[in-house]
Chain A
Amino acid sequence: MLGKLLKHEWKAVWKVPMLLFGILMIMAVMAGLTFSLPIWDSEWIGLPLSGVMLLMMFYFALIGVSVGVSIYFAVRYYRNMFTDEGYLTHTLPVTSHQLLLSKVITMCGWQLISGIAVIISLILFGGVTFLSLVPKDSSFAREMVDFFSELMQALPELWRTPELRGINGFCASIVVMMLTGTFSGTMTVIGSVTLGQMVRGHRILGSVGAYFAIQTIMQIVTTLLILPLMMMRIETFDYYIEDSPFYVMTPMYFVMAVIALAVGLGLYFLSEYLIRKRLELE
């Protein structure tokens, strides 16, 4: 049944995030193209100002996509589970775990996709800007290509330098932190909306309040756990030997990942319990 739930969930949600990503890509190209326009040297302030406006719009689109996807899924989760649509959702012959997992997996998936979309849009913006700034007849482009190919060849050597010792572990910690962060971010949204339903009569307000409460508690706990660890590692860090900065950062990121995972799992089981044992559809 989980497979069927996922199939219908993905089918129902793909259009809105894809539309947002489409807008983001168009904004990236438009913002990059402003550099090929002869507006920056114009004496009339309106022209360079409009270029700046386009760049700012791209910046806001970058933020808007991440925030927009989260808000879209929060609203969908609320409507699908706790409003009229819930009358169908909760009469399907599926368990509360299957129901919740279908929402969590879909939302996590789209959060990761939106992260990838943001990276692609930045590359697109960089590429278009580069092509816009480089004169067509110069050898600059060729030189840049050569530079990057040399850099790629030198990278394995660079990777083994004492200053970058532990970079593999650091990269792994970043990936783990991104994945657990996506999970805990998703569960914070889902957990807040579910907890908000316990505030009968003020369910939306309850959800918003729960979101800020969870965020605050998470920040305090993370700081309390991270600070002593960071201080301990900094004290034993020897600048004059070959220790790299990853000595401090990698364990810190792993601890943050563990906290994010624990918070995510805690909120998952709490949400599942509330859906199974405390459901009250109006």
Chain B
Amino acid sequence: MNELVIVNNLTKVYEKKKLALDHMNLAIPRGKIIGLLGPNGSGKTTLIKLINGLLTATEGEVFINGKKPGPDTKAWVSYLPERTYFQGNMQVKELIAYFSDFYSDFRPERARQMLANLGIDENARLKTLSKGTKEKVQLIMVMSREAQLYILDEPIAGVDPAARDYILKTIISNYNENATVLISTHLISDIEKILDEVVFIRNGRVILQDTVENIRERKGKSVDSYFREVFAC
């Protein structure tokens, strides 16, 4: 089975009858870097939350390695949400201990190396760090795992261009080649160079899933240009 994630007929309706995912079907292969692309409100974050078991589906199912989201799948998935989830009074070194305790695939030495590269003090309390530094610490924690699936929700939104380069470099140099990286973003031009495949989502449905190479060859344009064409207002 080459598919790591299978999404079957997945539907999510929020309160007030807001349809976020509309009978979505999707298969995510192993060993690829995949861009999950779509305009605001297209259902990217909802899909990601459902894969991580943070929401309850209205209808349909998600399977990761053949299992529904639960303790087993959470041991395989390394998730970077679009928000900071730390307890502010924790020190960076306590966070490393926390991840080491719960995730058997967490590599503390790798995390320490990346923190040292960025000059982040392990003794610093998280509440004393700037928003950008907190995001970097969070990314370092997520990428210091040898997970089977990395899910990064808007990893480069809200950070400066230099930090974006560092984040992309971190992603490429730290992920296991048999693992899949699913990146959700609007900033396509920045990440296009690292993507193998893209999934376009609109109104809670997959409207395209193809390799970056195919899009460039068949459409004769970059993914960013093609995205602008498909999602033109």
Contacts and interface: CB of A to CB of B under 8 A. Distances in A.
Nearest to B71: A93
Contacts of B81: 84, 87
Interface string B103-145: 1000000000000000000000000000000000000000000
**Most chain A beta carbons < 10 A, residue from B75, B79, B81, B87:** B87
Contacts of A84: 81, 83-85
B148 interface: no
13 contacts: A12-B89, A12-B90, A80-B87, A85-B87, A86-B85, A87-B81, A87-B83, A91-B74, A92-B74, A95-B71, A201-B15, A277-B56, A281-B54
Contacts of B74: 91-94
A87 B98 CA distance: 15
A279 interface: yes
B101 A8 contact: yes
Interface string A188-204: 00000000000011000
Nearest to A8: B98
A281 B49 contact: yes
B53 interface: yes
**Most chain A beta carbons < 10 A, residue from B55, B84, B102:** B102
B15 A200 contact: yes
Given A12-B87, A91-B53, A93-B102, 9 more contacts: A12-B89, A85-B85, A85-B87, A90-B53, A91-B52, A91-B54, A91-B79, A93-B74, A279-B54
B72 interface: yes
B86 interface: yes
A31 to B, nearest CB: 31
A279 B53 contact: yes
Contacts of B87: 12, 80, 85
Nearest to B153: A87
A186 B194 CA distance: 50
B73 to A, nearest CB: 8
B53 A88 contact: no
Contact of B72 (A87, A91, A93, A281): A93
B75 A93 contact: yes
B102 A87 contact: no
Interface string A63-101: 000000000000000001000111110111111000000
A227 interface: no
A91 B54 CA distance: 8
A280 interface: yes
A4 interface: yes
B192 to A, nearest CB: 27
Contacts of A200: 15
A117 B84 CA distance: 36
A276 to B, nearest CB: 9
Nearest to B83: A84
Shortest beta-carbon contacts, A-B, top 9 = A93-B75, A87-B85, A88-B85, A93-B74, A281-B54, A87-B81, A200-B15, A4-B101, A93-B71
Contacts of B103: 93
Interface in B188-216: none
Contacts of B49: 281
A84 B72 CA distance: 22
Nearest to A11: B94
A88 B86 contact: yes
B55 A94 contact: no
B95 to A, nearest CB: 10
A1 B102 contact: yes
A278 B85 contact: no
B5 interface: no
A280 B56 contact: yes
Nearest to A90: B54
A88 B98 CA distance: 11
A255 B87 CA distance: 41
Nearest to A277: B56
A93 B99 CA distance: 11
Contacts of B77: 91
Nearest to A80: B87
A88 B101 CA distance: 14
